[in-house]
């Protein structure tokens, strides 16, 4: 069976973005003009996902608000004859069936995913970490959903990363079975570099069998004192195979200010309305000196 539902955990405090995240969830910060949560929803919908469940914390109404109708704006765009923009705005709430569950305590990514169990039920499902922005011509999650259905197993997205990133990610020990597909032997969350089995890191896309919920139910706190999805997948491996998909394309970690800035620049350089002016500014940037402040 193919996954038709997606879980998007967005409940974190976004401490790497303070002070901005005091008021606005980081998944709503714009990559040029489009928030990461919109990119994730678009990738899901392109892959045939019909239902998206956000796992939110208190004070995050803005995330579901983004996907609801905005009648005053629609009326204003209509009055101004901005029909193309109106069409785009109406399409957002219509992308999928959006709902949310409240994660009352911040007990980690595994705990957040477990909170969505009633909405997912007994079927395979996709998980998106919207901080991981992946730009490809074909949605990565679509390939993973197909692979998971073909193998009847869970599939995680992976990518080779440099040594300095290893201690901040989930790392897998895996062997290539064909093309970009690997069979996973072992997973470890945020290992010290000397303990890491490889440089193949988990990036925020998963297609999981529903048995993961039983594993999460009994998973103790792991790295950082949190309930980790990586540990639950490691337990799942005892009863089911797990595959990894090494995805092509461009990836940005938009969960950090620098990553968000890089993604915004990348997006602006792809667009006709912004690329020429940005290029000209970047070319001249060495010439820009801070004006002296008169005392």
- The whole-angstrom separation of Cα 269 and Cα 263 is 10
Residue number with CB closer to ligand G1P (201 or 267) = 201
Bridge partners (DSSP) listed for residue 173? 186
SS3 of the chain: helix, strand, coil, percent, to 5? 40, 25, 35
Closest separation in Å from C-beta 181 to ligand G1P: 19
Residue number with CB closer to ligand G1P (55 or 77) = 55
Closest separation in Å from C-beta 41 to ligand G1P: 18
Closest separation in Å from C-beta 131 to ligand G1P: 6
Return the H-helix or E-strand segment holding 262.
helix 257-270
Residue number with CB closer to ligand G1P (153 or 201) = 201
Nearest residue to ligand G1P on Cβ basis: 170
Kindly give the interhelix angle for 140-151 and 36-46, rounded to the nearest 10 degrees: 40
- Residue 150's contacts (CB-CB under 8 Å, 6 or more residues apart) are none
Residue number with CB closer to ligand G1P (117 or 189) = 189
- The whole-angstrom separation of Cα 227 and Cα 271 is 40
Kindly list the residues in this chain that would bind ligand G1P in the complex (CB under 6 A). 109, 129, 131-132, 169-170, 189, 201-204, 228, 230
Which one, of 240, 223, 237, 249, lies nearest residue 159 by Cα? 249
Residue number with CB closer to ligand G1P (41 or 227) = 227
Closest separation in Å from C-beta 288 to ligand G1P: 34
Closest separation in Å from C-beta 284 to ligand G1P: 35
């Amino acid at each position: 069976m193919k996954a038709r539902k997606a879980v998007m955990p967005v409940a974190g405090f976004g401490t790497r973005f303070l002070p901005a995240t005091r008021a606005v969830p980081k998944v709503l910060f714009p990559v040029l003009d489009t928030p990461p949560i919109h990119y994730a929803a678009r990738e899901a919908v392109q892959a045939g996902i019909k239902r998206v469940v956000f796992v939110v914390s208190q004070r995050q109404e803005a995330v579901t608000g983004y996907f609801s109708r905005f009648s005053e704006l629609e009326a204003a765009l209509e009055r101004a004859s901005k029909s193309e923009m109106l069409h785009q705005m109406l399409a957002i709430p219509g992308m999928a069936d959006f709902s949310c569950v409240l994660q009352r305590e911040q007990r980690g990514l595994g705990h957040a995913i477990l909170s969505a169990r009633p909405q997912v039920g007994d079927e395979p499902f996709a998980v998106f970490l919207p901080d991981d922005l992946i730009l490809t011509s074909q949605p990565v999650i679509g390939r993973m959903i197909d692979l998971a259905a073909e193998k009847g197993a869970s599939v995680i997205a992976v990518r080779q990363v440099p040594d300095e990133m290893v201690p901040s990610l989930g790392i897998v020990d895996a062997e290539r079975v064909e093309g970009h597909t690997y069979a996973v032997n072992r997973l470890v969350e945020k290992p010290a570099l000397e303990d890491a089995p490889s440089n193949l890191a988990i990036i925020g896309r998963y297609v999981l069998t529903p048995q993961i919920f039983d594993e999460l139910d009994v998973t103790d706190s792991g790295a950082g004192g949190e309930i980790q999805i990586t540990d639950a997948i490691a337990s799942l491996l005892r009863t089911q195979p797990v595959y990894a998909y090494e995805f092509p394309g461009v990836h940005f970690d938009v969960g950090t200010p620098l990553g968000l800035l890089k993604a915004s620049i990348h997006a602006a350089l792809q667009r006709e309305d912004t690329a020429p002016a940005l290029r000209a500014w970047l070319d001249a940037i060495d010439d820009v000196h801070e004006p002296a402040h008169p005392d």
